[in-house]
Amino acid sequence: MTRPFPRFLGFCARRPKTCIVVLHFALVGLTLLRLRCSYPSLEQIILYNGWDDGKTFFDIAARGYRALPSYEYRELFGYPLAARLFFLFLGPSPYALALVSFLSSLLANLVILAILRSWNLSAGEALGGTVFFMTCRTPESIMSIFGGWPLPPMEHLVAIEGSEPLFLLLVLLAYLPMERGKHLSSALLLAAATLVRPHGSFIAFGAFIYLFLKKDWKALFYCLSPMVVALHFAYYYWIRGDFFAFCVAAREYYPDGVVFAYPFRDLVRNLHALSVGALPVGLVVSRVVFQVFFLYGFVLLFRRKRLLFWLMLPHYLVNVSMCDWSHHVRYYVVLWGISVVWYLTILDGFRAAVRTGDRRVGQPQLCRRESSDNGQS
């Protein structure tokens, strides 16, 4: 008789997309349950949560920039525009924001599955990688799941309301043609991602560096991302007379502004504060583990997925150079390559252990390292 657990795994391997959809609903549902203690309704979660500017996004979608005070210009229009499309069915409702975030997060997980399958992983192995991505995107994910963190994992929070899922979906869709050498299509998708979050320019810059080092003129396609940001700023100039209204709004909303320093400046100060007893040990250790997870992930990416290494690096360096903001987890949940390469490394270790245990020799590695000159699997 077939054992129940292997039968379940076999079912999952045959229907990976179904499993991803079910798990996505379950994770978001559990997140909502954890939030019910702090927010009386879903609408309150969407508009007044503490991890994103839900009210600002809704105001932009419902009323446009012209009707808003200057400090609301700190967000770009990609995410509100996507929510406005749902107004056709829902009317001007904040639930449109939640639908965009929820569906974008779900589709991003399915695109991760497609990427892993394109790397010649089996359906079951690709499903495992997608589940790993959904639940272990940062060390904070583990601490949140097991109760050591006050909020649910950030990747689940932004699936309820946040611009990150739509941004990540467009970035992942851009990666598929990029890996196949279709750089114009990729650059256009990254430009769309940049209209959701300006961080898309950093990923486009990584693609530019990768192709520039290969002396490929198609690197110029990735200049589209900063160009669309400039066009958005030109729109601000047209309606408000200030090309830099985005920066002024950010400074107005955050009086201390966003200041950049050398990388890991905040972590160095945390370690110094720990040495004089000004910060708890647990907090500083968690931040060290967080950065080690990403730093060693970049080592793995450099060895195995050179293209992904360059795509992730500029965004990460900007994150860790933001004074007093460098430990905001929501900036890191879109660095999808780190979680994926950790999974590939763990999977290779598991397969090697199985081969050793079964005394099998001479079998090809499941996830072979790519050559350093092409960035392909």
* Model confidence band, residue 376 (pLDDT cutoffs 50, 70, 90): very low
254 backbone dihedrals φ, ψ, rounded to 5°: -115, 90
Could you tell me the two tokens for 235?
């729109």
Could you tell me the two tokens for 161?
């309301």
Q: Indicate if the pLDDT at residue 364 is higher than 60.
A: no
66 backbone dihedrals φ, ψ, rounded to 5°: -60, -35
The answer to whether residues 229 and 201 touch, using CB atoms and an 8 Å cutoff, is yes
C-alpha–C-alpha distance, residues 337 and 310, integer Å: 10
Q: Indicate if the pLDDT at residue 75 is higher than 90.
A: yes
Could you tell me the two tokens for 306?
């050179």
Domain count, the chain: 1
C-alpha–C-alpha distance, residues 242 and 246, integer Å: 9
The string of pLDDT tens digits covering residues 316-358 is 999 999 988 888 899 999 999 999 999 999 999 988 887 777 6
Q: Indicate if the pLDDT at residue 179 is higher than 90.
A: yes
C-alpha–C-alpha distance, residues 297 and 294, integer Å: 5
The answer to whether residues 168 and 79 touch, using CB atoms and an 8 Å cutoff, is no
* Model confidence band, residue 359 (pLDDT cutoffs 50, 70, 90): low
| Helix (H) or strand (E) run with residue 167 in it | helix 164-179
Could you tell me the two tokens for 127?
């499903």
Residue 371 is assigned to a structural domain of this protein: no
Name the residue range of residue 103's domain.
12-357
* Model confidence band, residue 13 (pLDDT cutoffs 50, 70, 90): confident
* Model confidence band, residue 368 (pLDDT cutoffs 50, 70, 90): very low
The string of pLDDT tens digits covering residues 17-71 is 999 999 999 999 999 998 988 888 999 999 998 888 899 999 999 999 998 999 8
Give the pLDDT mean for 247-256: 84
Q: How far is CA 104 from CA 18, 126, 159, 193, 328, in A?
A: 16, 19, 8, 12, 21
What do you get for the CA distance between the two ends of the chain, in Å? 39
C-alpha–C-alpha distance, residues 197 and 322, integer Å: 16
Whole-number pLDDT of residue 180 = 93
As separate numbers, helices (DSSP H) first and strands (DSSP E) second, the chain gives 18, 0
Residue 369 is assigned to a structural domain of this protein: no
The answer to whether residues 155 and 142 touch, using CB atoms and an 8 Å cutoff, is no
Residue 78 is assigned to a structural domain of this protein: yes
Residue 363 is assigned to a structural domain of this protein: no
The answer to whether residues 207 and 190 touch, using CB atoms and an 8 Å cutoff, is yes
The answer to whether residues 54 and 103 touch, using CB atoms and an 8 Å cutoff, is no
Residue type, 267: L
Residue 85 is assigned to a structural domain of this protein: yes
The string of pLDDT tens digits covering residues 197-242 is 999 999 999 999 999 999 999 999 999 999 999 999 999 999 999 9
Give the pLDDT mean for 117-130: 94
Q: Indicate if the pLDDT at residue 6 is higher than 50.
A: yes
Residue 7 is assigned to a structural domain of this protein: no
Residue 376 is assigned to a structural domain of this protein: no
Phi-psi region of 235 (alpha: psi -120 to 50; beta: other; left: phi over 0): alpha
Residue 370 is assigned to a structural domain of this protein: no
Burial class of 356 by CB neighbour count within 10 A (0 to 12, 13 to 18, 19+): exposed
